[in-house]
Amino acid sequence: MNRKSIAVAIGATACAAVPWIITNDYFVNLASQILIYALLALSLNLLLGYGGMVSLGHAAFLGLTGYSTILLVLAGHDQLTTAILSVVFSTACGALFGVLALRASGIGFLMITLALGQIVWGIAYRANELTGGDNGLTLPARPVPFGIDINSASNFYHFTLIVFAIALFCIWRMTRSPFGAALCGTRDQPRRMSMLGHNVWMIQWLTFVIASFWGSISGLLYIYYNLFMSPHAISLQQSAEALLMAILGGATTLSGPIVGAVIITIVKNVVSTYIERWNILLGLIFVIVIMFMPNGLVPGCRQLWQSIQSRRKAPAPETKSASEPAP
């Protein structure tokens, strides 16, 4: 077992033990929220960090899954069928959004995703009869996976942790796969990749679909956690926060969006109880991190650690003995 595997095992054990270490339900629920937003940021980071595509409409997948889950449950479908259909519906919308968004690149791509996100938000806000408008919709109950009640804070946390761990493993595998290598290639040199025989558009579109799938899974967790969906949950601010999580932690790394989600969720939920204008603090954190670690916290800390290590390893400069005659 190498050091990396040991670190992963310790990390996984620590995560699983959270409800026993922190017995307060409020903080266990906060940990569940962190996992949900971390998954949303991880899915967005497939586009941003690995694909070089900046999206400002990713929260739409929270809404598409959330609203369809509630509507299907209210229509009388069982929870498992509902979950599958909601994720399929949301991912299919992602596939369509991808076709539209990939007609442009750079700022054009950003603006199209922003517009698509706003369309979903607009429908949620205006289609009162379907979505409840500003009042939102309520999910009657959480599912009971394999007969296990996930209503308690600790059980729900473990349920979320399992889903998150599966998602993280799949995303990790993807980033190390031939497809992941091709995706990074299209981010760095799209023209060159095309001339090497890679279908750049298809790679980007498939990534968009995969990102929407994992975004939809986080949407499913979101609706199970909150049991309520309103337009506020899928606003531009939500998409921007997910983007901020990925950038703050480090978009070029797998762990960066998780670190970003931890910081932003804690600032939003904990610090906001003490500081009214918590947004200012969040902005300040973001500016400071970007000033001193432009690639984000994880790559920045890694760089810092490496420079400390290399300084330690560097031989100390030779000191001249006192008896040595002056030149």
Partner 1 sequence: MTAPALEIAGLNKRFGGLPATRDVSLQVMPGERRLIIGPNGAGKTTLFNLVTGDLSADSGSVKLFGQELMGMRTPDRVHRGLARTYQILTLFPREKLVHNVVLALLGLDKLRWNPWAVLTGHRHLYEQAREALAQVGLADSAERIVAETSYGERRRLELAMALAQKPKVLLLDEPLAGLSQGERQSVRSLLDKVPRGVTIVMIEHDMDTALGFAERITLLHYGEVILEGTRAEVVADPRTREVYLGD
Count of beta carbons in the 10 Å neighbourhood of residue 295: 17
Q: How far apart are CA 153 and CA 140, in angstroms?
A: 17
List binders of partner 1 among 182-241 (CB under 8 A): 182, 185, 188-189, 191-200, 206, 210
Decide: 159 and 29 in contact? Cβ < 8 Å.
no
- Judged by CB under 8 A, which of 51, 66, 180, 256 binds partner 1? 180
Alpha carbon separation from 285 to 35, 241, 248, 297, 314 (Å, rounded)? 21, 13, 9, 11, 33
The nearest distance, CB 49 to partner 1, in angstroms, is: 13
Closer by beta carbon to partner 1, 198 or else 268: 198
Closer by beta carbon to partner 1, 124 or else 200: 200
Closer by beta carbon to partner 1, 120 or else 217: 217
Q: Two tokens at 120? A: 């979903």
| b/e sequence 207-238, b meaning 16+ C-beta within 10 Å | bbbbbbbbbbbbbbbbbbbbebbbbebbbeeb
The nearest distance, CB 203 to partner 1, in angstroms, is: 8
The nearest distance, CB 170 to partner 1, in angstroms, is: 8
Decide: is 76 part of the binding site for partner 1 (CB under 8 A).
no
Question: Which residues fall within 8 angstroms of residue 200, CB to CB, at 6 or more apart?
Answer: 186, 190, 193, 194
Closer by beta carbon to partner 1, 204 or else 239: 204
The site that binds partner 1 (CB under 8 A) totals a number of residues, namely 24
Q: How far apart are CA 209 and CA 45, in angstroms?
A: 13
Dihedral pair phi/psi, residue 127, rounded to 5° = -80, 75
Decide: 87 and 79 in contact? Cβ < 8 Å.
no
Where does this chain touch partner 1 (CB under 8 A) — which range of 31-39, 96-104, 120-128, 181-189? 181-189
The nearest distance, CB 186 to partner 1, in angstroms, is: 10
CA neighbor of 109 nearest in space, from 41, 190, 198, 42 = 190
- Judged by CB under 8 A, which of 100, 173, 287, 306 binds partner 1? 173
Angle at 33 between CA 283 and CA 249, to 5 degrees: 45
The nearest distance, CB 207 to partner 1, in angstroms, is: 9
The nearest distance, CB 211 to partner 1, in angstroms, is: 12
The nearest distance, CB 299 to partner 1, in angstroms, is: 12
- Judged by CB under 8 A, which of 15, 123, 165, 174 binds partner 1? 174
- The binding site for partner 1 (CB under 8 A) comprises 173-174, 176-182, 185, 188-189, 191-200, 206, 210
